[in-house]
């Protein structure tokens, strides 16, 4: 499988824990996100745990290369490659949404590369993606066609499609001044046609049978209490794929890390701190 070389930001701890030099945390964003969404939490975890934190851009997002294939086996292979290229051992994976399914797929496929993981508001199940994502792409294509020069113009086009200002700002974080234009026009850096095609199977999970494959190391599943992504009925399946799992509910919607960063920080630190 052709992999792409992932762009990343490395957040180094002020006082590294000696035996954790090569045992990093790798943080993965969700659909339409990028490494810059995880800058704050990455810095905080580096500080509090004394570990190096790599915030990566998954393929077709942020500064990472574009590729026609956009599914979980491909994204997991990219991250596996990243771990090998950087000579990392005992990595902790933290992923939100699409990043969570990428982490889960990688842990099941190549458990030797992963020490433990934190899956934020997603689970190892097939679900239909909400229609809001298709709506966002429709709006983003409109913005691209409008040759906007200011974010406020883009926001006006997006508003009828998404009422929440926070979600609109998150999506518009993908705009940049395109080098091939007049230097003023803003375009989306994510490849909208590729992601539009991928939407139908981004709700899928590549592993179907926990009788065939399991991850026997610690896994933390974090749910937003106001989110529908991890309903109670999927908890038994989580336990079959990830028998050493813990579940934490955090007062938040789907965007758990940005909506309730302190509760998320505490849950992750409790999970990752060395057990006596």
Residue 9 pLDDT > 60: yes
For the question of residue 176 being annotated catalytic, the response is no
Which residue has better confidence, 20 or 92?
92
Q: How confident is the model at residue 200 (pLDDT cuts 50, 70, 90)?
A: confident
Q: How does residue 43 score in pLDDT terms, banded at 50, 70 and 90?
A: very high
CB 93 within 8 A of CB 29: no
pLDDT beyond 70 at 276: no
Confidence of residue 21 (pLDDT cuts 50, 70, 90): low
The span from the CA of 143 to the CA of 126, in Å, is 31
Tokens for 23, please give them: 């045992």
Q: pLDDT digit string (tens) for 213-253?
A: 999 999 999 999 999 999 999 999 999 999 999 999 999 99
Q: Considering 29, 97, 109, 227, which one is annotated as catalytic?
A: 97
The secondary structure of residue 61, as a DSSP letter, is: S
Torsion of CA 193, 99, 47, 224, to 10 degrees: 110
Can you name the residues that pair with 223 across neighbouring β-strands? 249
Query: Is the pLDDT assigned to residue 17 strictly greater than 80?
Result: no
The pLDDT of residue 132 is: 85
If pLDDT is split at 50, 70 and 90, which confidence band does 128 have?
confident
Per-domain residue ranges of the chain: 8-128+202-272, 131-199
Pairing of strands 175-177, 186-188: antiparallel
Place of tokens 């809001």: 132
Share of the chain above pLDDT 90, in %: 86
Start-to-end C-alpha separation, the chain: 41
- pLDDT given for residue 19 in this prediction: 60
Average pLDDT of the segment spanning 107-127: 97
Q: Which of 11, 52, 96, 254 is catalytic?
A: 254
61 tagged catalytic: no
Task: Assign a CATH topology to domain 8-128+202-272.
Answer: Rossmann fold (3.40.50)
Mean pLDDT, range 178-187, rounded to an integer: 78
Q: What does each C-alpha distance from 41 to 26, 120, 154, 162, 262 come to in angstroms?
A: 12, 13, 28, 26, 9
Distance of CA 186 to the CA centre of its chain: 24
* Whole-number pLDDT of residue 180: 67
């Amino acid at each position: 499988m052709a992999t792409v070389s992932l762009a990343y930001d490395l957040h180094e701890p002020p006082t590294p824990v000696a035996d954790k030099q090569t045992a990093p945390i790798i943080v993965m964003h969700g659909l339409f996100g990028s490494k810059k969404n995880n800058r704050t939490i990455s810095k905080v975890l580096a500080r509090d745990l004394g570990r190096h934190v790599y915030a990566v851009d998954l393929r077709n997002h942020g500064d990472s290369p574009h590729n026609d294939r956009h599914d979980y086996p491909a994204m997991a292979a990219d991250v596996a490659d990243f771990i090998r290229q950087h000579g990392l051992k005992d990595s902790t994976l933290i992923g939100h949404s699409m990043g969570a399914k990428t982490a889960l797929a990688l842990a099941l496929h190549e458990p030797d590369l992963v020490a433990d993981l934190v899956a934020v508001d997603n689970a190892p199940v097939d679900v239909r993606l909400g229609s809001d994502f298709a709506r966002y792409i429709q709006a983003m294509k409109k913005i691209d066609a409008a040759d906007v020069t200011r974010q406020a113009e883009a926001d006006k086009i997006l508003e009828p499609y998404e009422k929440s200002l926070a979600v609109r700002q998150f999506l518009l974080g993908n705009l940049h001044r395109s080098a091939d234009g007049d230097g003023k026009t803003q375009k989306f850096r994510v490849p909208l046609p590729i992601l539009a095609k991928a939407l139908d199977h981004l709700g899928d999970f590549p592993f179907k049978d926990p009788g065939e494959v399991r991850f026997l190391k610690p896994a933390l599943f974090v749910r937003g209490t106001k989110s529908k992504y991890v309903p109670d009925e999927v908890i038994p399946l989580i336990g079959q794929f990830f028998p050493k799992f813990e579940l934490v509910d955090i007062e938040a919607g789907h965007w758990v890390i940005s909506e309730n960063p302190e509760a998320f920080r505490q849950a992750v630190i409790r999970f990752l701190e060395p057990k006596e």
